[in-house]
A and B are shown apart, each in its own frame.
Chain A
């Protein structure tokens, strides 16, 4: 590959528009710590930093208040779930511990929220936020219970492939209500990468079921919403993709399980 070609890939990658085979090619270079690719990427990224630095905008103060509250309410040992994006790095224990763990986390959030409010009366906003988080958590738990009770729920066991032969995962899947995915034994993804779960039905292209990360023990979980247009799933697979995921798998496959 010429230097120009590498710069081209780096520019498109940084602009967020690199697709398909080109993207896979460039990411392979990055994974291999190719010096030219890394230098080209740094150059392109720095240009965008310059572009952003040329027009800074002070954010509304409420954002910082909300963030600091969120961080203060976070238990020190584990990092609290993100209500918008279901906890990619939430260190969830094994499957049987999920319900208990979530309840404890919920209880901890209530206690923390209560203490904070009694100390600082002005933090009503933060409490409202906590309450919203708890509602989200509760809805998630109710969804999990519904899935477990339903005889139509499929349980798919996924086995580790050569990149992580010791990895194991389980998917409780219900076409109408979605499902829960739990995994152990995966290596921590490198910077800029995350695992992506795919649902495969017949000869159709794989459908993304979400992106997740794993904690230091290689354990992770993911709440999966019903997938539009997918009823019966023949297989679930996990690949390593750029953080945020891709519309179609491009990276190596780490886990596969057929239903």
Chain B
């Protein structure tokens, strides 16, 4: 991914150029990074129009807030992904508030959702399998916590209520789940290359 991009087109260099108002840099950064953000947003929001709006807001935020990006605090990818996550979950929560009869289908594994992408279905399926495989390697209880938090936007108290588990247990599972997910994803990627 980004590390393969040479010289002035690394993500940090592009962000620095965007901060200076360089529209070409923004265009380039969008081309390189939008599939990353959009993949995530689409998994949180099933409505394609809402997902498209959120992606636009996220990149508008990138344009506005590039001058505040601090490389010491994390990579541009993390900066982008955290924004995409926050906006997508905000939208999900506000959609739920608007429509109080809406019941999230919490019992399906969100990782199995259709991404609705028509482009290169084989590659998409392979990526999906990767996430699914990584999530599947987690113990069921940890996987549920990660999915409910990250993809459904539930708070820890809500997860604790939903699963009937003490709050402390939910907190520990979030940490353990994320740690294992990390090694699982790293392992999958290494073995895939």
Contacts and interface: CB of A to CB of B under 8 A. Distances in A.
Q: Do A and B come from one complex?
A: yes
Interface of A: 4, 7-8, 10-12, 14-19, 38, 41-60, 62-64, 66-68, 70-72, 76, 79, 82, 84-85, 89, 191-192, 243-244
Contact of A7 (B1, B73, B75, B179): B179
B138 to A, nearest CB: 12
Nearest to B84: A52
A243 to B, nearest CB: 7
B172 interface: yes
Contacts of B78: 42, 45-46, 48-49
Contacts, number: 175
B89 A16 contact: yes
A16 B64 contact: no
B178 A55 contact: no
Main secondary structure of the interface of B (DSSP, over half): helix
Main secondary structure of the interface of A (DSSP, over half): helix
25 contacts: A11-B178, A12-B149, A17-B156, A17-B159, A17-B174, A38-B73, A41-B74, A44-B178, A45-B82, A47-B185, A51-B131, A52-B81, A52-B84, A54-B127, A54-B189, A55-B124, A55-B128, A57-B124, A63-B59, A64-B30, A71-B23, A71-B26, A79-B63, A82-B57, A84-B57
A47 B92 CA distance: 22
B137 interface: no
Given A58-B117, A192-B73, 20 more contacts: A8-B174, A41-B74, A42-B78, A46-B74, A47-B178, A47-B179, A48-B150, A49-B75, A49-B77, A49-B78, A52-B40, A55-B128, A55-B130, A59-B35, A60-B52, A64-B27, A64-B34, A67-B26, A67-B63, A84-B57
